[in-house]
Structure 1
Amino acid sequence: MTTTVRGAQEGTGAPYALSHLDALESEAVHIIREVAGEFERPVILFSGGKDSIVMLHLALKAFTPAPVPFALLHVDTGHNFPEVLAFRDRVVAEHGLRLHVASVQEYIDAGTLRERPDGTRNPLQTLPLTERIQSERFDAVFGGGRRDEEKARAKERVFSLRDEFSQWDPRRQRPELWQLYNGRHAPGEHVRVFPLSNWTELDVWQYIAREHIDLPGIYFAHEREVFRRGGMWLTAGEWGGPKEGEPVERRLVRYRTVGDMSCTGAVDSDAATLDAVIAEVATARLTERGATRADDKLSEAAMEDRKREGYF
């Protein structure tokens, strides 16, 4: 005897099929719940950027009507966009979440870290991140990384084992056949977890539109004072820009990704609505990190080198 699962139109006899967004959502929710069942002290990396916002939205869905059973963690470089930090704090207050903040500035003030000549603090995030993971004994750390962003991230599994020094060894990656995830780890080790691994930038934006997810306005076209460096439009700030010979212009721009102001570039855009952003992303030839992140252009293996040291 066979049973036919009905589609949206009762009586048609058509089999029910998930849309690609439903399938991605289902996979991500499964991963989040798997972590809740396997680990004792998970935490979600939350910066107020679009990927971490989507990840938190999925976690809220995974456990509703119960609260999210995870804390949030943000590594604050001290050069973050103010509007993104304001959004982060609003979301935390709105959902009654616990937020841990690891401050790069505190490490610089203590003399543990030293400012780089180029002013960027993105590479300085690794030590505050890994030490906070160790001090809080987090054994699973959710990240919003996606395989389409950058080739080093494309090599990483959904469950990515890190050793007692938070370092990543590609040779120790485990098979993940049939969506079976191995969270086994020794004392001192932890697992980085990427529920959005199989999503693309376009998937993220389509999901944001479908779910009516609120975002910082920085992701939509707005007028901003920027200057040109390394082929990108950067926002002027105390971090060290602009230099002599780098005139500031007021342009209509938006950000495809957000991070440290010193290495995150804006793109010329008039996309002020979700539909316009989706249309723009659908025709983009470069990934968001490839187009707007200066720290990924330092070398061919820049991201992989940082990941080996403990970065996300």
Structure 2
Amino acid sequence: MRAARIMTISENPTRSFDRADEFTTLDALESESIHIFREVAGEFERPVILFSGGKDSTVLLHLALKAFWPAPLPFSLLHVDTGHNLPEIIQFRDEIVERHNLRLHVAKVEDYIADGRLTERPDGIRNPLQTIPLLDGITENRFDAVFGGARRDEERARAKERIFSLRNAFGQWDPKRQRPELWNLYNGRHAPGEHVRVFPLSNWTELDIWRYIAREQVLLAPLYYAHEREVYERDGMWMTSGPWGGPREGETVETRTVRYRTVGDGSTTGAVLSEAADNEAVLAEVAASRLTERGATRGDDRVSEAAMEDRKREGYF
């Protein structure tokens, strides 16, 4: 008989593993991620999980719940809300938090703009404005380890970062201070005021994420699947109108069947034309793609070749 199954953020019980099963690549990735969560729990005092309601942070939370089941999750969640998030994502975020009785800290970019600590950018993009609220949230709550859902296959700067990534007292990342990570040994040592960013999904790919979502039946926000939406085309991406503005002159709103590969600030994150309405269809679509989800649908990463690395040096995710 199979081992008892665990209920996490899936619609149905998660798949269990026993000796009769073949140990797959997904099992190895899951095992590594769970080991990282448990390592941090034993080594740090106040870890937190960055949770936006996107697919990667949802898989991250699923793994964290699985790592400590049947005990409650020993970490709280932190979301840096730009105020320009798609409404489906915020609704999904709140539903997950309520379902699992989790504690959520929200740092709002809107508050920083309202009181003058931040200034709205001319292009209206708020993703780069997340850095200061994020660092303030970490400092005010004395978080010493911050879990993120970044993966190395997403972008070249993220490919350079270790699983345990030291940040200085100003929250900045210095590539020259990267520590060696031999086998599964992670160095979390840090001075007062410093903290460590931890990336349990570093070795996963977008295809791995979707294969895992399908296997574990992880619930996602519905906009990750094909749906009809009023959109307009900009720079090869299909954008949604919202409080962030748009469309511009010459951009025509039309109803298209689209889905989102990644979610972020609505002013810079686009959808892709797609008929993939379920996990199987999404898997086939992702397997055939030659662009990462950020390369295909994130305008903020197109500012320069070093756009992400520059933001990470300042303290970004």
- Asked if these proteins are the same fold (TM beyond 0.5), I'd say yes
Letter in 2 for 1:246: E
45, 51, 54: which one aligns with 2:50:
45
Equivalent residue number for residue 278 of structure 1: 283
- Number of residue pairs aligned between Structure 1 and Structure 2: 300
| Pair 1:23 & 2:48 matched | no
1:251-308 C-alpha deviation (Å, 9 max, x unpaired): 0000000011011110000000110000000000100000000000000000000000
Identical counterparts, % of pairs = 74
Letter in 2 for 1:147: R
CA distance in 1, matches of 2:285, 2:183: 34
Letter in 2 for 1:178: W
Letter in 2 for 1:243: R
C-alpha contact 1:167 1:310 (8 A) present in aligned 2: yes
C-alpha contact 1:76 1:102 (8 A) present in aligned 2: yes
Secondary structure of the 1:129 match is: helix
1:8-29 C-alpha deviation (Å, 9 max, x unpaired): 2xxxxxxx85200000000000
Shift of 1:7: 5.3
Shift of 1:209: 0.5
Gaps in structure 2 of 5+ consecutive residues: 1-17
Equivalent residue number for residue 182 of structure 2: 177
1:79-106 C-alpha deviation (Å, 9 max, x unpaired): 0010110000000000000000000000
> Following TM superposition, where does structure 1 have runs of at least 4 consecutive aligned residues deviating by more than 2 angstroms?
none
71, 76, 86: which one aligns with 1:71:
76
Equivalent residue number for residue 149 of structure 1: 154
1:100-137 C-alpha deviation (Å, 9 max, x unpaired): 00000000000111111111100000000001101111
Letter in 1 for 2:220: L
Letter in 1 for 2:296: A
Shift of 1:163: 0.2
Gaps in structure 1 of 5+ consecutive residues: 1-5, 9-15
Equivalent residue number for residue 60 of structure 1: 65
Secondary structure of the 1:174 match is: coil
CA distance in 2, matches of 1:34, 1:257: 28
Secondary structure of the 1:233 match is: strand
Equivalent residue number for residue 222 of structure 1: 227
Secondary structure of the 1:177 match is: coil
| Pair 1:240 & 2:245 matched | yes
Shift of 1:228: 1.3
C-alpha contact 1:118 1:240 (8 A) present in aligned 2: no
Letter in 1 for 2:96: V
Letter in 1 for 2:111: E
267, 277, 296: which one aligns with 1:262:
267
C-alpha contact 1:161 1:190 (8 A) present in aligned 2: yes
What CA RMSD, in Å, does the superposition of the two structures yield over aligned residues?
Answer: 1.0
| Pair 1:138 & 2:143 matched | yes
CA distance in 2, matches of 1:178, 1:151: 22
C-alpha contact 1:254 1:269 (8 A) present in aligned 2: yes
Equivalent residue number for residue 33 of structure 1: 38
Q: TM-score by structure 1 length?
A: 0.95
Secondary structure of the 1:141 match is: strand
Letter in 1 for 2:199: F
CA distance in 2, matches of 1:81, 1:274: 21
Equivalent residue number for residue 92 of structure 1: 97
Letter in 1 for 2:118: L
CA distance in 1, matches of 2:237, 2:67: 38
97, 117, 120: which one aligns with 2:122:
117
